[in-house]
Structure 1
Amino acid sequence: MLWACILLPQLALDTVQRGRDDANSPLVLIGGPAQRRVLQAVNAAAADLGLRAGQTLTAARALADGFTCVEADPARIDEVQQLLAAWAYRFSAQVSLHYPRALLLEVGSSLQLFGPWTSFEARLRTELQELGLRHRIVLASNPVAARMLVNGHDGLALTCAEQTRAALANMPLDRVGLPADAAQALSRMGLRRLGEVMALPRDALAKRFAAPVQLHLDQLFGQRALGLDFYQPPDRFESRLELNFDVESHQALLFPLRRLINDLAAFLAGRDCGVQRFELHLEHVEGPDTVLKVGLLAAEREATMLFELARGRLEPLRIPAPVRNVRLLAADLPAFVPQHRALFDPRSQQAQPWEQLRERLRARLGDEAVMGLRAEADHRPEHAWQASEQGAAGSLAVAPGSRPGWLLPQALALPEGGLQWLGQAERIESGWWDGGDVRRDYYRIETREGLRGWAYRDLAQPGPLWLQGWFA
C-alpha cells in the first residue's frame, strides 16, 4: 500500500481568503483572549507591510494600517475539511481526516486508474489550487510516515518501506510527532535525528519513556498499524459563505456563487453523482431568506454549466434587501451518466451539446419558454403535435423524417411556380367526430432555394396549394 498525505499549512487563512474576491488586499487572522489579541496568520500582502504571525494586534496596528482582521471560524474550517475529503473520495475509497489540517488517502490501488504518481500528483495539485488551498504532498509506504515526512518535505515520493525508513532516519526529532517532553529528553541526551533514536536498544527506550512513545515509533516505521476512520460521503451537500458586508447587487454575488458552485462540483465528482435540483439561499440582515431554486431536466456536475444556470436564474431576480450570507443546498443527487461522445467529435470547441444549450435557455428565458413536442394519436398535423415539458414522453412513436420538424401556426398559400414535387401524395381524411373534418392530399415539395416543405390541397374546397410545415 502507498499513502499520500496532503498537508494544508494555511488552512484557516485559506478558508477565509477563498471566500473573498480581494485576494491582493492585506488580510490577517486573529485569535486569543480579548485582552491580548494575536495575529495567527497573515497573507502575502500583509507580510509585505511587515506583519508576522505571533505579533499582538496592538503592535501590528502601530506598525501598519489598512489591513483587514478576521476571526478564525472552526466550524467553517471543519466544513472545508469535509469538502476536501469528499473531493479526495473521487481518487480513493480510503480517505481519512485523522490528523488536523491534513488529508490521508491510500493511492497504491488508484495508480492503475489515474496513471503514474508524477501525473497523479500533478492532477491533485492543480485541483487543490483551483480550490484555493495551499498544500504540501508526500508519498510514503504507511500513513503515519507520510504525515510526519510532510512536516519537512514537499513532493517527496517514497514507494517502498526501505526508502521510507531511510527518509525518516534523517528527520529532526521535533518534526516526527513525538510528545514534547519525550522530544526534549532525547534532545538533552544529545540526539538530534530520528535515526539516532532508533539505533538505541529498544528495551532501554521502553524503560525510559512511556508506552505511547514506543507505539508512535512503531507506527512510524510500519511495525504496527494505525487505526483510521475512513470518510463516508453524505447524501446531501450544504455550504455557506459569510460575506461580512452587505451586498445589494447581482454582480457582487457572482464571486461567492462561483466559489459555492465549484465546491459543489468537487463534492459531486467525489461521490460520482450529479445534481438535478439545488437551492441558493440569500440570507438578509432582516426578514426571511430569498430562495432561488434551480432545476435541471437531467443530472449534471460540470462547474461551468452549473454556474451559468445559477447565474441565469439570479440576474433577473429582484433582491429585496441587502444580502449578508449565501448558502447553497443540494439534496437531489441522482446518478450521473456522462454524455456519449465519439472519439473524433466533429463539433467545434465552442459548440455546446443540446442538453447544455437547453438548460441555458431555460435559465435565461424561463421554464415555460422552452418546451418540447410530443406526438398524439391523430392524423391531422395541427392536432398530432402538442407542446409538452422537456423530457415528457408522448403516447405515439413517430419515425424520424416522416413529419416536418417545423409546423407553421397557420397554413400559408403557396405559389406553385418553381416547385419540385417529391414522391406521391399522402391522403389524410380525419376529424369527423369533433367537427374538424379534413380531407387533404399532402405532398413533399422542394423550392428553388433547396428548402423542403410539406404542402397539401384541400379536397373539400379546391383552391391553392397550402404550405403547412418545413423539414429540417
Structure 2
Amino acid sequence: MASPNLPVWLYLHFPHLQADQLSLQNPQTPIAILDQGKRVWQHCRLAQASGVQTGMVFTTALQLDPELQLQPQRSNEQQQILAQIADYCYQWCARIALSFEQGLLLEVATMWRLFGGRANYWQQLQQALQSRQLRFHAAAGTTPMAAYVLARAGYDLPLASTQQLNQQLQQLTLQQLPLSASQQQSLTDVGIKQLADLTNIPMAQWRRRFSGEIATWLERLNGDKVDDHCWFEPPAQFVRNWHCLHEINHSNGLLFPLQHMLKELNHYLRRRQLAACAVELILQHREQTDSQISLRLAQPEHQASEFLILARLRLQQLSLPEAVIGIQVVAAELVPQQQPATDLFAATNSHALDGGQLLNRLRSRLAPSDVKHLVLSADPRPERAFQLVTESDTPITAGTQNSGRGDVQDNGRDHIQDSANRPVWLLPKPIPLPNQPWELKSAPERIACGWWDDGAIQRDYFVAVDQHGQLCWVFRTPANQWFLHGWFG
C-alpha cells in the first residue's frame, strides 16, 4: 500500500500533441493546429520559435511566420495518439485512464515498489516519453483532479510531496483552473483570485451562493467525489494511422511513414512476444476509393526490417490512382512468437534468409500464381505423394482423403508419414534396374493401392546400395521385375 503522505496519481499533459506528431514528418516545417474559431490551439517547436502562441488569431500567426502550415483540430486523431501513448506506457503502468482530451492519468502508487522507488520509476518513464519527441508536463497528486490541474497549468512536479503539491495548488490563479470563462467571471466578481480563496470558504456556502458545477469541481479536487474514468485496455490487434502533412504522389514517398509505423508494429509485437501472419496497408485518397495492400506471410514475422522490405517490393508494382493523404497499418492475425531451434555449434550467416523470408519476398515480387510449393498428399503412390500448389490452393494433406480405400495397406501410409524412408530425388519414371551388383539394406515395404483411378500398383520397396556405395530406392513387382525409382542424398 502507498503511504498516506505520498500522492498516488500522475497526470501527463500533452499541450501540443497533434502538432508534435505532425512535426515528426518534417521537423523543418512550422506547424500550427487551429480550433474551430480559427485560433492557434497547438503549435510545434519551430512555430513557437517564430513567436506563434496558443490563442493567437491565425492571420497574426501567418504574419509572424509566412511558411506556417495550418492544420484543423482533429479530436479523433488526438484520441488515437493518446491511445498509442497509453499502449506504450502500459509496460510501466497497468492502470491508465483516457478521460482527458490532452493527457493521460496514471495510477502509479502500486508501481513504485516494482521499479525500486518513485525516483527510479519516474526516470524510466520519463526517458521512454522523451524518446517519442513529444512535449509534456507531468504532475503528481493525491486526487486525479489535483494532478490534472497542476500539469495542465504547466507545472512539472512528478516527485513532489503532498505538502509541496498542496502549496502549489493554493497559489493557482483562476485563469489556471479548468473553469469556463463565465465561472471565472462569477468568482472574480466576488473578489476571488486564487484557489486558496475558494478552499477557505466552507463547501456549504458554495452550494448556496454559486452554481453546482463549481461545487462539484471542488469535490473532485478534494477527493470527496470519485470520477468514473475510462480505463485503457491493451488492444487485441495493432492499428496505426498516419495523417500526411503533405499529399504523397509517388509510391516511394510512402516508405518514410511506413518505416515509422512498421517500427511501432515491431515494438508492439516484441513487447507481447507475438508475430504477425499478415499486415494490411490501407492508403487513403481524397476522392478515390482507398488502396489496400495485403502482405501475406509464409511464416509469422515480427521484425520491422522484414515488413519494410516486403512493403517496398509491393509498392514498386503499385500505381497510385490518386495522391495519398493518409495511411493505416493493421495487423490483426497475431500468434505467439516462436524462436527457431538452432544448433549451438552450427556456422551461421546473419545475412542469410530462412525459407519463410525467401518465400515472403518471392510472393511480394511475383504474381501469386507464380510461386508454388510442395505439399504432402494422402496418396501412398510415390509418384503422387506430393503436389505443387499456390497460396490460394487448398493443400491436400495426409489423412484427408476418403477412408473407404480399404486396401491401402498401413505400411504404405506409414511410409508417407515417415519422410526419412523416402529419397529426396525421385526419378521422373522408374527405370529397369541396371545389371550391376546391388546390396539390399532394408526389409521389403509393400505399397499396394490405386484401384480407385485405374492406376493400381503393387510394389515391394527396398533401400539398396550400388557398387559405388550410393544409397538408392528400388522396388520389385509381382512379376519379379526390378526397377530403380530414386536416390538418397
Q: Give the TM-score, by structure 2 length.
A: 0.68
CA contact under 8 A between 1:272 and 1:335: conserved in structure 2? Answer: no
CA deviation profile, 1:397-445 (whole Å, cap 9, x unmatched): 77777246844675999xx9xxxx9993354554675266655532479
Q: Which of 22, 28, 31 is matched with 2:32 structurally?
A: 28
2:407 maps to what in 1? Answer: none
Secondary structure, counterpart of 2:442 in structure 1: strand
CA contact under 8 A between 1:412 and 1:468: conserved in structure 2? Answer: no
Secondary structure, counterpart of 2:162 in structure 1: helix
Q: Which of 5, 8, 27 is matched with 2:14 structurally?
A: 8
CA contact under 8 A between 1:138 and 1:156: conserved in structure 2? Answer: yes
Q: Is 1:153 paired with 2:148?
A: no
CA deviation profile, 1:83-137 (whole Å, cap 9, x unmatched): 4455556666643322210112334455677776556545545554565533333
2:172 maps to what in 1? Answer: 173
1:402 maps to what in 2? Answer: 420
Q: How far off is 1:156 after superposition? A: 0.9
Amino acid at match of 1:154: D
Q: 1:385 to 1:439 in 2, by over 3 A?
A: same
Unaligned runs of 5+ in 1: none
2:336 maps to what in 1? Answer: 337
Q: Distance in 2 between matches of 1:350 and 1:112?
A: 43
Q: Distance in 1 between matches of 2:62 and 2:184?
A: 37
Q: Is 1:456 paired with 2:437?
A: no
1:98 maps to what in 2? Answer: 99
CA contact under 8 A between 2:374 and 2:386: conserved in structure 1? Answer: no
Q: 1:238 to 1:189 in 2, by over 3 A?
A: same
Q: Distance in 2 between matches of 1:345 and 1:440?
A: 37
Q: Is 1:468 paired with 2:448?
A: no
Secondary structure, counterpart of 2:256 in structure 1: helix
Report the structure number with the largest CA radius of gyration: 2
CA deviation profile, 1:364-401 (whole Å, cap 9, x unmatched): 55655363543645263x43344467896543677777
Secondary structure, counterpart of 1:402 in structure 2: helix
CA contact under 8 A between 1:86 and 1:266: conserved in structure 2? Answer: no
CA deviation profile, 1:180-216 (whole Å, cap 9, x unmatched): 5666747985865x56754565556666554443433
Q: 1:231 to 1:62 in 2, by over 3 A?
A: closer
Q: Distance in 1 between matches of 2:352 and 2:430?
A: 34
CA contact under 8 A between 1:275 and 1:300: conserved in structure 2? Answer: yes
2:74 maps to what in 1? Answer: 73
Q: 1:203 to 1:307 in 2, by over 3 A?
A: same
CA contact under 8 A between 2:440 and 2:463: conserved in structure 1? Answer: no
Q: Is 1:281 paired with 2:285?
A: no
Number of residue pairs matched by the alignment: 446
Q: Distance in 2 between matches of 1:457 and 1:291?
A: 52
Amino acid at match of 2:143: N
2:376 maps to what in 1? Answer: 374
Higher relative contact order (CA 8 A, sep 6+): 1
2:322 maps to what in 1? Answer: 322
CA contact under 8 A between 2:440 and 2:465: conserved in structure 1? Answer: yes
Q: How far off is 1:145 after superposition? A: 2.2
Q: Which of 448, 452, 463 is matched with 1:442 structurally?
A: 463
My pick for the range that moved more, 136-145 or 427-436, is: 427-436
Q: Distance in 2 between matches of 1:110 and 1:336?
A: 29
CA contact under 8 A between 1:179 and 1:213: conserved in structure 2? Answer: no
Unaligned runs of 5+ in 2: 3-7, 400-412
Counterparts of 1:305-320 in structure 2 under 5 Å? 305-315=306-316, 317-320=317-320
2:224 maps to what in 1? Answer: 223
Secondary structure, counterpart of 1:170 in structure 2: helix
Q: Distance in 2 between matches of 1:383 and 1:334?
A: 33
Q: Distance in 1 between matches of 2:337 and 2:137?
A: 32
My pick for the range that moved more, 107-116 or 24-33, is: 107-116
Q: Give the TM-score, by structure 1 length.
A: 0.70
